[in-house]
Amino acid sequence: MSLRVVLVRSQIAANIGSTARVMRNFGVSELVLVAPETDPLAPAARQLSTHGEVLLHSARIVPDLATALADCVRVAATSAKIEGRIRSQAQGLPDEIIPQLITAMNSGPVALVFGPERDGLMTDEISRCTHLIHIPSDAGYPTLNLAQSVAICLYEARLAMLRTSGELPSGPSPIPFALQDRMFAALRESLERVGFLYDERADSLWHAVRQLIARAGPSEQEAKILLGLARQLRWLADRKTPDEV
Domain spans in the chain, listed from the N-terminal domain onward: 3-165, 177-239
Fold equal for 3-165 and 177-239: no
In this prediction, residue 90 carries a pLDDT of 64
Least confident range from 132-136, 151-155, 227-231: namely 132-136
Using only C-alpha atoms, the chain has a radius of gyration, in whole angstroms, of 27
For residue 65, name the pLDDT band (cuts at 50, 70, 90).
very high
Per-residue model confidence (pLDDT) at position 216: 84
pLDDT of residue 5: 98
Q: What CA dihedral angle connects 6, 33, 16 and 123, to 10 degrees?
A: -60
pLDDT, residue 59, reads 97
pLDDT higher than threshold 80 for residue 174: no
Q: What pLDDT score does 245 carry?
A: 46
Please give the average per-residue pLDDT across 203-219, as a whole number.
90
**Topology given in CATH for the domain delimited by 3-165:** Alpha/beta knot (3.40.1280)
Q: What is the mean pLDDT of the chain?
A: 89
| The pLDDT value given to residue 46 | 96
| DSSP codes of every residue in the chain | --EEEEEES---HHHHHHHHHHHHHTT--EEEEES-SS-TTSHHHHHHHGGGHHHHHH-EEESSHHHHHTT-SEEEEE-S---SHHHHHHEE-HHHHHHHHHHHTTTS-EEEEE--TTT---HHHHTTSSEEE-----TTS-PPPHHHHHHHHHHHHHHHHHHHHTSS-SSPPPPPHHHHHHHHHHHHHHHHHTTSS-GGGHHHHHHHHHHHHHHH---HHHHHHHHHHHHHHHHHHHHS-TTT-
pLDDT at 171 exceeding the cut of 70? no
Top-confidence range, 47-56, 119-128, 129-138:
47-56
**Does CATH place domain 177-239 in 1.10.8?**
yes
Lowest model confidence (mean pLDDT) among 11-20, 115-124, 150-159: 115-124
Mean pLDDT across the stretch 26-42?
97
Question: What pLDDT, on the 0 to 100 scale, is given for residue 118?
Answer: 87
